[in-house]
Structure 1
Amino acid sequence: MKPTFAKIMKFSTICAIVTSIGITSGTVSAAPAAKPVPVKSNPIQTIEFKTNDKFEDLRFLKNVIGNKKIVMIGESSHGAAEFNKSKARLVQFLHKEMGFNVLAFESGLGDTSGTYANISKLTGEETLRKSIYPVWHAKELVPMFDYIKQQSTSKQPLILTGFDMQPNPDFGRFMETWFAPIDKQFAVEAKNLEKKLTNIYYNVDWNQADWDQDYTYVLDGYTKIQKFMAENEAALQKDFPNNKTIMPIMKHVIADRIYMIQNMLKYQVAYNNLTPENYVVSKSLRENVAYLRDEMMASTLTWLVDNIYKDQKVIVWGHNYHVRKNNSVMDSPVQLHLYEGGSVQNMGELMPSRLKQKTYTIGLFMYEGATAGNDGKAMPVSTTKDPDSVESILKSTGKSYAFVDLTSPYNKEWKNSTHNGMYWGMIEEPFVPSQQYDGILFIKKTTPSVYLK
């Protein structure tokens, strides 16, 4: 089928572009009334973040999650205040009550880990701003980052890290500060190199006619950084005498930059320049930027779990698209980069089987209200829904907030059959709930995030 190309919103990351087949809006045709489906759920009383929370309404999760090593928490949309609040409270519960001591964001590994290494010099809000992508620079997340700051000096800190590979000027500034005592000129060059790579990656203030020379510049530049770090490892480590993970993490970041430049960057540049008129469906997974990004994220997350935090339990924070378990089986109109072979494997699907067995994956969905695009602009949640949709089924609980465990013997009437769920509250995606998630957190009504200025 010949695809049509709809850009629903412009993101600050690659997951910013929603590619749809034959869909250009969030409206759907009305469907006949469906017979009510019984739902077994756990009501949640509040989503507010509190320092003295007793978590009475979340204690059921101890039995639900059990001895899993990884909990992935998704969201059908970035930019929903209630998603941020509920996830922040889940993070606090998992940390305080279940010993999950690592929080890995869908943000740059270098940005997050470098910022956390300097957390003693920062406020909670500064940590938030410097570490994670702007889609989460929201006031409702400041209390969680204040908590991360407070816990950083405790016997059980909540360690902040990330698993994404996209370049970011914040990482360039980190390198500049870190390298400057050894070689001030090289430090400035490293900062400018990251800025240049960022401009190429996002097609910002960059001319594609300069590709050949710029490709050589960035590849040589990160190779030089790799050599610089190897030659000056002892001096660099002195800046973080009590942090034994900073060097292996930063070495991994630079190795990832080199791999991305060699294996992905030219396809990213080509993708950035696609329009409805010249859209090309990828014929190989090695050319599909959605797959390549998720492949790298899965590799980095696996590396963190196996090597850096092998004795820790890890919370993963990202979009439903990246954390759901079997994207390749979804016959979805939403694919970030169309592939002639169908839906591509995502990060959750690309994780090793041995880690999948130790993972509990939670999807977040809302029924009504509004959310925001990555540009911060409010967008209404579609008011027209299939009465047999996931959201309509969960709304029948009558609760503002409810959690459904899909691994339990309950909810057989609907969890193992195909239902629509809304991507970003706008586009219907058909999927089998139990095939994609172990649990679903339902928020009846959302409002747009309140972004930090």
Structure 2
Amino acid sequence: MKRIIVRMTLPLLIVCLALSSFSASARAASEEKHWDSWIERHAQPLDASNKDFRFLKKVLKGKRIVQLGETTHGAGEMNATKVRMIKYLHEELGYDVLAFESGFPDTNASYLNMDQLTPKSTMKNSIYAVWHTEDVVELFDYMKEQKEKGDPLILTGFDIQSMKNSFNDAATQWVKAVNPEKAELLSQSENDFSTLVTDSNTFDEFSQKKEKLVKNYQELIQFAETHASELRANLPKEPKAYEMFMHSLQLRIDVMETYMLEEMKEKLEDYPKNIEDFSFFMRDRMMAEQFQWVAETLYPKKKIIVWGHNYHLRKQNTKMIKDWVQLNGPNMGDYLPERLKKQTYTIGIYAYSGASLNSSDNKTVMPVTSPPPSGSLEALLKAADHPAVFVDFLHTKNKKGTSWMYTPRTALYWGNMEEQMILKEQYDGVIWLEHITPSVIIK
């Protein structure tokens, strides 16, 4: 009897499964048809002129901060698109500050000395080497021109990592005009700061060096407070120059007491129990703190553009279904206070095909996975049938044509590592580029 039931049931089960599979496939095809139709109608084409950004006037209404991400560093078309958008935001919408994912002391010192530097030198002295490219130097040409016109686009940074000597070189000269001995102390402290972790072999050695350096910077801060009027007279004639200088000194102390302390422990394989205490995540927490200071203390009344990686800028990494680290730890977006998040419009940038540079050496070419996974952000926006488009999420409601924004979706980190997210939770809009090529690094 059992055999008869099995013989009768098994074919029926197979038919049911086949019908179910066909039904699911049909539903998916129907959904994608609605998605394609919506994308064709609503994706904003981006061409080679500023006119194509006019839609931003409506999209960014009420937003003081615009964040421009990128899924990969080292892609020429991503840089060029961001440069064009920045020019539009500055000229047409009154965004007057550009905050880079680069060291706060170096970017500000370079901006203060911009009058004495070429655009290329300003670029190399201020931002990380992955952006020392032909397309980005155009932005620094523009900043110099705007400053000379009296309509400056102010450069600043929000990262805590220091990879240059720009602040050392500039600040030493400022202090030297007031007190040569303190200038020597500053220069030596900056040199020792840059090698504190790499040149320490034990935690005791690190601690002793750190304590000495902390005292040095405290002495410099006290000196700067006591001689504030003299320092102000010798700093570049820029608003907030003294505040930038003082904050940079304090930042050195904060970085040593937190980020570098954890870096040293990890170097010695002494790892923290809490994920947030790893230096990788601590960097994002401190970047959020630095940006908050820039937005609320340094430039509280100015409209700000932020340039950084998608990973740092997206709204809330802890809500990712799967991030590239596969830990879903907190990012800069997680740490920003709600009052700033409400003022912010965050744009992610992704590519359908091509290649970019590996930022670890700025030489290795990293190909984009092509074609991208079916149903991914990159695959879906191909329906726009244009080489570059912008899609707004913030002002879009959940319906048949837009449900792809509200359901789990794959998108590619660095163009080749699958991440999963609800797009609406992470971005207010995205820019999609059909093809990218590796940036040309300027020597």
What is the aligned counterpart of 2:297 among 293, 300, 307?
A: 307
* 99-108 vs 35-44, which moves further: 35-44
What is the aligned counterpart of 1:372 among 354, 357, 361?
A: 357
Higher helix share: 2
Q: Does 2:377 align with 1:383? A: no
Q: Which residue of 2 aligns with 1:357?
A: 342
Please state how far the C-alpha of 1:163 moved relative to its aligned partner. 1.0
What is the aligned counterpart of 1:401 among 388, 408, 411?
A: 388
Distance 2:146 2:239 in 1: 18
TM-score, normalising length: structure 2: 0.86
Please state how far the C-alpha of 1:381 moved relative to its aligned partner. 1.4
- Summarize deviations over 1:101-150 as a string: whole Å, max 9, x none: 00011111111111111111111111111111112111111111001001
* 255-264 vs 176-185, which moves further: 176-185
Change (3 A) 1:133 1:419: same
* 262-271 vs 104-113, which moves further: 262-271
Distance 2:141 2:268 in 1: 40
Distance 2:335 2:299 in 1: 19
* 105-114 vs 251-260, which moves further: 251-260
What is the aligned counterpart of 1:175 among 171, 174, 186?
A: 171
Please state how far the C-alpha of 1:384 moved relative to its aligned partner. 5.1
Q: Which residue of 1 aligns with 2:102?
A: 107
CA contact (8 A) 1:165 1:253 kept: no
CA contact (8 A) 1:167 1:194 kept: no
Please state how far the C-alpha of 1:297 moved relative to its aligned partner. 1.4
CA contact (8 A) 2:171 2:245 kept: no
Q: Which residue of 1 aligns with 2:135?
A: 140
Please state how far the C-alpha of 1:358 moved relative to its aligned partner. 1.1
* 91-100 vs 148-157, which moves further: 148-157
CA contact (8 A) 2:405 2:423 kept: yes
Distance 1:171 1:294 in 2: 22
Please state how far the C-alpha of 1:88 moved relative to its aligned partner. 0.6
Distance 1:139 1:113 in 2: 22
Distance 2:406 2:159 in 1: 31
* 140-149 vs 379-388, which moves further: 379-388
Please state how far the C-alpha of 1:153 moved relative to its aligned partner. 2.6
* 216-225 vs 117-126, which moves further: 216-225
Distance 1:69 1:284 in 2: 34
CA contact (8 A) 2:353 2:368 kept: yes
* 212-221 vs 361-370, which moves further: 212-221
Distance 1:99 1:82 in 2: 24
TM-score, normalising length: structure 1: 0.84
Name the amino acid aligned to 2:394.
Answer: T
Distance 2:252 2:317 in 1: 26
Distance 2:375 2:202 in 1: 47
Q: Which residue of 2 aligns with 1:186?
A: 182
Please state how far the C-alpha of 1:182 moved relative to its aligned partner. 2.3
Q: Which residue of 2 aligns with 1:451?
A: 441
What is the aligned counterpart of 1:245 among 219, 240, 244?
A: 240
Unaligned runs of 5+ in 2: 1-24
Q: Does 2:429 align with 1:439? A: yes
Distance 1:452 1:68 in 2: 34
Q: Which residue of 2 aligns with 1:164?
A: 159
CA contact (8 A) 2:46 2:53 kept: yes
Aligned residues: 403
CA contact (8 A) 2:235 2:242 kept: no
- Summarize deviations over 1:15-55 as a string: whole Å, max 9, x none: xxxxxxxxxxxxxxxxx996343223101112xxxxxx5x2
Distance 2:44 2:196 in 1: 47
- Summarize deviations over 1:149-184 as a string: whole Å, max 9, x none: 011133321111111122342222222222222233
Distance 2:170 2:235 in 1: 13
Q: Does 2:342 align with 1:346? A: no
Unaligned runs of 5+ in 1: 1-31, 47-52
Alignment partner of 1:450: what SS?
coil
Q: Does 2:253 align with 1:258? A: yes
Please state how far the C-alpha of 1:190 moved relative to its aligned partner. 1.8
Please state how far the C-alpha of 1:256 moved relative to its aligned partner. 1.9
